[in-house]
Amino acid sequence: MAQHLKGASVSAEIIENIRREQSKYPGQVRLAVVRMGEKEEDLSYEKSIVKKAKEAGIIIQVHVLPEEITPKDASRLIEGLNADPQIHGVLVFRPLGNPLVEKQIVNTLAPHKDVDGITPLSMAGVYSDEEGLFPPCTAEACMRILSHYLVTLSGKKAVVLGRSQVIGKPVAMMLLKENATVTLCHSRTQNLMETVREADIVVTAIGKPRAVTGQFFRAGQVVIDVGINFDENGKLCGDVDFEEADKVVAAITPVPGGVGVVTTALLLEHTMKAAKR
């Protein structure tokens, strides 16, 4: 059986640090959450943020956009949040349901309040190793888990499955910064199984339930599963077939209980950092 790289202990450490920091400014650190409508996955993520924020001592302020909102009005709301000194971070639940509104928001949000790294400048920051901006929380969560569990990255082969702007690309850039040799794979990759088997570290972010089966793996590998999917029975699962991989690899993150919980903690850490500036 592989070592299970649980997110709980990584998250607990992060939350404890925020709580300590926050105690210098009690009740003053505030994160605005912006969502459109009442999608189930948004409400579920929001609930977990609210719970963790309470532990950390951070105040959450929810803004629900009506589905018929215009880009202009959405922009006005974001400008208000940008200008509000009581708001330190802004999280937008995406996809928002209206691509034009989403684009407008992404281009309006002030980079220093962009705690989930969605603005063009935040993205450029990840790409060019600029300090002072926030990377997407999920990508950073992968890195935090690797560092918490003391996984060596320098000189190692890392393979990333999925090339999205939210996870695949930024996590590739962050692995590269830690001197891993990084391969980006995707739906068009040939010999995917062979490529994954050659890796020392595998990060999966493809959004397909248990698509990465045991055959993809070999002994000694470390697997970070970013997928949050539901199988045909409605059961939450990752991109990796956990049961099969568990028999083969050295270490793997569970789903749930892996990357997701660390992502939420980092969102609050970013908000705390934004507040301190």
Chain positions contacting a copy of itself, by CB under 8 A: 120-121, 123-128, 130, 154-157, 163, 165, 169, 172-173, 176, 179, 181-186, 188-190, 195
Two tokens, residue 139: 């990508």
> With respect to a copy of itself, which residue has the nearer C-beta, 155 or 256?
155
DSSP annotation string for 242-271: HHHHHTTSSEE--SSSSHHHHHHHHHHHHH
Two tokens, residue 263: 């992502």
Rounded CA gap, 180 and 162, in Å? Answer: 17
Two tokens, residue 253: 């993150």
Minimum CB separation from a copy of itself for residue 152, in Å?
A: 11
> With respect to a copy of itself, which residue has the nearer C-beta, 49 or 159?
159
Minimum CB separation from a copy of itself for residue 220, in Å?
A: 14
Minimum CB separation from a copy of itself for residue 155, in Å?
A: 5
> With respect to a copy of itself, which residue has the nearer C-beta, 154 or 233?
154
At residue 36, the 3 state secondary structure works out as strand
> With respect to a copy of itself, which residue has the nearer C-beta, 117 or 227?
117
The conformational region for residue 259 under phi > 0 = left, psi -120 to 50 = alpha, else beta, is alpha
At residue 221, the 3 state secondary structure works out as coil
Minimum CB separation from a copy of itself for residue 173, in Å?
A: 8
Check: CB of residue 87 under 8 Å from CB of residue 81: yes
Minimum CB separation from a copy of itself for residue 73, in Å?
A: 24
Length of the chain: 277
> With respect to a copy of itself, which residue has the nearer C-beta, 61 or 181?
181
